[in-house]
Amino acid sequence: MKKKNYMYSFMRCLESQGYFSSEVDGSGVQRWKSTVKSSLLCSGDDKLRSLLMIIAQPPHYQPWGRVADVVREGRCGAELAFDGVDSVWKVFARNPHWQSSFDKAMSSLTVGALRAVKEVVQRDSLLDKTPCVMDVGGGHGVLLAQLLQTGSSSNPAMRGICFDQPHVADAARASPSPEIAKMGGDVAARISFVGGDFFAERSMPALPAGSVIVMKHILHDWDDTKCGVILACCHQALSPGDRLFVFEQLLDADAGNPMAAIMDMNMMMVPGGRERTRKEFESLLRTGGFKLDRVTNCSPMMSLLIAKRI
């Protein structure tokens, strides 16, 4: 029996979805070429490619495979899909390849948000007198680098601390992100990568008065109780009146933002967290000792919530 040509079936399927087009050349050989759709997934477009890479890896799709159990039992998908872990972060930590794909994806997704962040920070002079910015769960420091660079003209001495799990901080220090190198100047030299656990008391360094803590896409990874612990640690690191910048997508109570509703499901399936409405954030922050001051829309998928430490 003739063996099926799997590669041909694969390419035909992709072509049927518009990812490639094909033609038969003069010698009768069928050749495929890229289309606009497939070129979006080439290594030049890191945003979409890296997002696809993480969605296609086990830490993401295995928890989704337990969707019925997650919904029925209200448990975290990673905990159900992987033996002996209580969070997806431990699954990444077990496998350096998954960890590094995830970190790269987060960095390139962050690049997509930088222009909007820069505009808001400059327009509202948000960092003019800030001695230090600490990005909690800051990954490889791309957002932090952008904040330091944006503040450079009015505040060239501002320093940055990128706080994340010890193995993530070690990797960020050992192989600096190309996105930061592209920013140039002395930004990289003003960042320290500090390893720690944002659930452990006094794990975060105490900051000089007037500092800012930034958290982007952190609170949506966790339930309200865990967020309370993270906020308590941030509260401990800041002084009264200092600011907390939370970058998150806001959920509409009436399901009018379909992307937020899908991300809400994704947070429930993979890390065991949730997206929140403005009101829910306000209450979460209040319980953690912060008062929500204002909310600015950075893009359809990201808002900046500015809160003051009480």
Ligand X SMILES: C[S@@+](CC[C@H](N)C(=O)[O-])C[C@H]1O[C@@H](n2cnc3c(N)ncnc32)[C@H](O)[C@@H]1O
Three-state secondary-structure class, residue 175? coil
CA distances 172 to 50, 146, 205, 288, Å, are 17, 16, 18, 29
Cα 149 from Cα 172, distance rounded (Å): 18
Q: Which residue is nearest to ligand X (CB)?
A: 137
Contacts 24+ apart (CB under 8 A), 30-38: 38/14
**Is 60 marked active-site?**
no
Nearest to 256 by CA among 264, 268, 248: 264
Q: Is-contact 278 307, C-beta < 8 A? A: no
Per the DSSP assignment, residues forming a β-bridge with 34 are 20
Minimum distance from residue 110 beta carbon to ligand X (Å): 4
Nearer of residues 106 and 260 to ligand X, judged by Cβ: 106
Minimum distance from residue 143 beta carbon to ligand X (Å): 6
Per the DSSP assignment, residues forming a β-bridge with 308 are 243, 291
Nearer of residues 8 and 199 to ligand X, judged by Cβ: 199
Nearer of residues 106 and 133 to ligand X, judged by Cβ: 106
Nearer of residues 54 and 70 to ligand X, judged by Cβ: 54
Minimum distance from residue 236 beta carbon to ligand X (Å): 14
Binding positions for ligand X, rule: CB under 6 A: 89, 106, 110, 137-139, 164-165, 168, 197-199, 216-218, 221
Catalytic residue among 60, 140, 217, 220: 220
Minimum distance from residue 230 beta carbon to ligand X (Å): 8
Q: Which residues are catalytic?
A: 220
